[in-house]
Structure 1
Amino acid sequence: MKIHCFFLFIGSTYNLKIFINFLLFCRYKMLSKLRPKMKKKQTVKYLINFFDNTFGLRNIYFQQIAQEFKMQESNQQKQMQSENEKQQQIERQKELFGTVVNRMHSHCLKYDAISIFFPEYQNPEEVSCNWVGDMDFNVCPYITEGIQKRIKTNNIYGYPGLLIKYEPFLNSLISWCRRRHSYEIQPQQINITQNTLQTISTLYRLKSKKNQGIIIQTPIYYKIIDQATMIGRKIVPNPLIFQDGLYYINFELLEEQLADPNNKIMVFCNPLNPSGRVWTYDEVKRVAELCLKYDVFLISDEIFADLTLPGYKHTIAGSISNEINNNTATIFTPSKAFNLSGLSISTVVIPNQEIHRQFTQKNNSQGFYYANIFGQIAYENAYSFQGEQWLTDLMDYIVSNYEFMQQYLTEQYPDIEILQMQAGYLTMLDFSKTNLPYQKIKQILINSNVLLEDLSDFFYPKQTSQLFRINIACPQVKLKECLEKIVHGFKSQSKN
């Protein structure tokens, strides 16, 4: 009673607002000191109730305190859930991509053809194969399930139906490009081929004649060059400018080449193979607009688009404008992102109706009518939501491998530099700081039982280079083994 009278006296003496603020301050200081020591929430709530009832503040602040506890509990639950999900993701990725698969004697080019194409390697089974562009990971489980289901339910492999009339197949690509690249495709714009090279070869024949020029930016996958020379087309190289670990387009030279009326086609590799360079929106727009200006047909090879790394934005050339879209053939396939090259299926989007009709006719005249039936299933299941989740996990693992390689070489042998990789799983190692000539670098790699892609053929005309392409799409333990061999080989050379 005396305490209440005392505070009533003070309350009548001072301004009421000041008095209440004083009480709140005392309440805050008391609770801030006691709360960390209270392990049980009920104890804290009891003190709050006692204080508020004593000073008549319960009705004002009880809801605020209750909400505070509720928010703390919610944040703790979210944090625990996030940590659990992250751990589950790590375990899932280890299971999907961390398992070492023995691919020897599986009729694959990457391992079983070493003795044929690279006889200088005496013991193929001991070679770290980080060269050709396919991955050492088991395929997306949803793709495998789809193929197994087809085998189990129908064990007859006769002529497949015409995919250009099969809506689920067409819609898989349409939906994929819409949600991932904001690119709208109509079913009648799609054509089916066996692979990217067959598509490019058919377009070469369709849009150019013998001795007419095809503009190709180098370095580039050498078989794109070979397809042109084999049918008598003139290669017009547009060498990219290498600066600060990235390639850039020489637009001044490019415009001169496009202005030549003998040049009928330009091949645009976006993202770039071999370096993984993702061209910016402005770069893509400028290339496409120049082709349109000089009436040069644009072949846009975008098969690495779905492997664009976080932090970079892929731009489909045809998405820039209807006019550009009408002057472009855009190649899409899940073969790179989902490792399906052996199933021989690809697609090309040709919005120009007349060119599309001519392409179909030219394609058929070369004997192509039907796609691989298992390739069809794999294609649809890759471009699904289940496939997209797998692809997200894959990209996390690729980024992890890339960061691991950067750290390892920086610490162990900084003279070997890594080009900035913006897409894919194929990047380049720059050996120029070793001050060793091409042949010596090549021999060290052979002696170390490491097979990387020699970039000599990626230029036109061919030229030796101190750049070698490395494939990092493998379990990290295999990547580490490859890097250890490389570092050991070059350190041993330094001692001699």
Structure 2
Amino acid sequence: YRQHDCVVISDEIWSDIILPGHKHIPTQSVSEDARMRTVALYAPSKTFNLAGLVGSYHIIYNETLRDRVCAVSNKTHYNEMNVLSMHALIGAYQPQGYEWVDELNQVLAGNIEYFCDYADEHFEGVSYSRPQGTYMVFLDCAEWCCEHGRDIQWLLDEGARVGVGYQDGRPFHGPCHIRVNLALPLSRVREACDRLDHYVFNAR
């Protein structure tokens, strides 16, 4: 980026949700050059489920770059923070919030471990990369679909039919992928795995 004098916009909205054994490295911490050419974007919305309150913010150390960003945002007033979202953000970033996030990450780690282990054992032809953060798992179902003469739309329809909601992976550049959200109680993860096993991937 220095060679081509690029401005870097780094979306670090997931940076609080890091699974045990891993660490987030902020883009601006890599070097002084990175610090001065990066617009880092953060929010409590993913971590604390506050997306509807509009409470994102940026960190920009370069004064000239910060002035340019603020000039545009001040003209449009698009998605401005309100009083409720401001106090929600302040409340989230208190010691009690830190403790809650640590507990959350432990729960998510357990959910992801259970789901991935289950997929390994029961969903033959389905592959994935085990996540280091977030509560999402991106399943590549291409091999399974090829072997069973199905396509991604069939998987989406069958998941909905048996009450397991997941996202179409195509908008995320996965041509035969599904995006699974595991931010839910472990009992629901177990139930979803059982339904996918018996009624979708290994329908009897």
Instruction: Give the Cα separation in 2 of the matches to 1:337 and 1:328.
Output: 23
Post-superposition CA distance 1:235-269 (Å, at most 9, x none): xxxxxxxxxxxxxxxxxxxxxxxxxxxxxxxxxxx
User: Is the CA contact (8 Å cut-off) linking 2:138 and 2:169 kept in structure 1?
Assistant: no
Match of 2:158 among 432, 435, 444: 444
User: Is the CA contact (8 Å cut-off) linking 1:409 and 1:416 kept in structure 2?
Assistant: yes
Residue 55 (structure 1) aligns with: none
Within-5 A mapping of 1:343-358: 343-358=53-68
* Unpaired segments ≥5 residues, structure 2: none
TM-score normalised by L of structure 2: 0.89
Post-superposition CA distance 1:286-317 (Å, at most 9, x none): xxxxx121011110001111111122221111
The reply to whether residue 404 of structure 1 matches residue 118 of structure 2 is: no
Cα distance change on mapping 1:481 and 1:369 into 2, 3 Å: closer
Instruction: Give the Cα separation in 2 of the matches to 1:450 and 1:417.
Output: 19
Amino acid paired to 2:102: T
Amino acid paired to 1:373: V
User: Is the CA contact (8 Å cut-off) linking 2:164 and 2:192 kept in structure 1?
Assistant: yes
Residue 491 (structure 1) aligns with: 202
Residue 93 (structure 2) aligns with: 383
User: Is the CA contact (8 Å cut-off) linking 1:381 and 1:387 kept in structure 2?
Assistant: yes
Within-5 A mapping of 1:87-236: none
Query: SS at 2:16's partner residue?
Result: helix
Query: SS at 1:306's partner residue?
Result: coil
Residue 470 (structure 1) aligns with: 180
Query: SS at 1:336's partner residue?
Result: helix
* Unpaired segments ≥5 residues, structure 1: 1-290
The reply to whether residue 424 of structure 1 matches residue 134 of structure 2 is: yes
Instruction: Give the Cα separation in 2 of the matches to 1:334 and 1:446.
Output: 30
Deviation at 1:348, TM superposition (A): 0.5
Post-superposition CA distance 1:375-426 (Å, at most 9, x none): 1111112111110000010011001111111233333334333421110101
Instruction: Give the Cα separation in 2 of the matches to 1:353 and 1:343.
Output: 28
Instruction: Give the Cα separation in 2 of the matches to 1:491 and 1:361.
Output: 56
Query: SS at 2:175's partner residue?
Result: coil
Deviation at 1:445, TM superposition (A): 2.1
Runs of 4+ in 1 over 4 A off after TM superposition: none
User: Is the CA contact (8 Å cut-off) linking 1:419 and 1:430 kept in structure 2?
Assistant: no
Query: SS at 1:482's partner residue?
Result: helix
Residue 304 (structure 1) aligns with: 14
Instruction: Give the Cα separation in 2 of the matches to 1:332 and 1:296.
Output: 20
Match of 1:365 among 58, 68, 75: 75
Within-5 A mapping of 1:274-353: 291-353=1-63
Q: Could you say what the CA RMSD is over the residues aligned between the two structures, in angstroms?
A: 1.9
Instruction: Give the Cα separation in 1 of the matches to 2:125 and 2:83.
Output: 48
Post-superposition CA distance 1:412-444 (Å, at most 9, x none): 334333421110101112223322432333333
Indicate the percent of aligned positions where both proteins have the same amino acid: 27
Instruction: Give the Cα separation in 2 of the matches to 1:300 and 1:338.
Output: 20
Amino acid paired to 2:98: E
Amino acid paired to 2:34: I
TM-score normalised by L of structure 1: 0.38
Instruction: Give the Cα separation in 1 of the matches to 2:130 and 2:122.
Output: 19
User: Is the CA contact (8 Å cut-off) linking 2:168 and 2:179 kept in structure 1?
Assistant: yes
Cα distance change on mapping 1:373 and 1:480 into 2, 3 Å: same
User: Is the CA contact (8 Å cut-off) linking 2:167 and 2:180 kept in structure 1?
Assistant: yes
User: Is the CA contact (8 Å cut-off) linking 1:309 and 1:424 kept in structure 2?
Assistant: yes
Higher helix share: 1
Query: SS at 2:115's partner residue?
Result: helix
Instruction: Give the Cα separation in 1 of the matches to 2:79 and 2:14.
Output: 26
Cα distance change on mapping 1:297 and 1:470 into 2, 3 Å: same
Query: SS at 2:57's partner residue?
Result: strand
Deviation at 1:368, TM superposition (A): 4.7
Query: SS at 1:307's partner residue?
Result: coil
Instruction: Give the Cα separation in 1 of the matches to 2:127 and 2:170.
Output: 18
Greater gyration radius: 1
Aligned residues: 199
Deviation at 1:351, TM superposition (A): 1.3
